Amino acid sequence: MLDPVLLLLDDLYRTDEAHVHLQPLVTRCLRTAATAIGIQRLLEVLPLHLDRLGPPRAG
């Protein structure tokens, strides 16, 4: 039930060009979710995947 909501929040945050005004709200929602279900569970749904981080974009 919560997984699609978390995925949507993640998508809203990452596509910040289109949703820049939503970021503070999305941040609060993600923090609330993490507090409710725990960081471990949240990261199971939204893995960090930092090993796949590419080089930083210019600008």
Partner 1 sequence: MIGQFSDWMRDVHYGVGSPRARETPRPYLLAVLRGAVPSGSQLAYVADRVLPLTQTLKRASESAAARGSTLESAQYHTLYLQAWGLLSGFCASPDDIPTVRVPARLCVGVVPLTTPLSCVATRVRYFSRQAFPKLARELGAALNNQPELRPTICAALGRLIKSSCAFSTAAGAADGAAAGQRIAANRAAVGAFAKNFLPILFNLYTTTPPDVRNYLLDAVRSWVTVADKPLLNNLFATVVRKLLDAPDAAVAPAAGQLAPQAVRHAMLDLALALAPALDGASAGLLYRTVTPFLVVRSSRMRRITL
Residues engaged in binding partner 1 (CB under 8 A): 1, 3-5, 7-8, 10-11, 13-14, 27, 30-32, 34-36, 38-40, 42-43, 46-56
Q: Give the C-alpha separation, 17 to 45, whole Å.
A: 23
Closest to partner 1 by CB, 20 vs 47, is 47
Shortest Cβ distance from residue 27 to partner 1 (Å)? 5
Tokens 């993490």 identify what position?
A: 34
The secondary structure of residue 33, as a DSSP letter, is: H
Q: Give the C-alpha separation, 13 to 24, whole Å.
A: 9
Shortest Cβ distance from residue 10 to partner 1 (Å)? 7
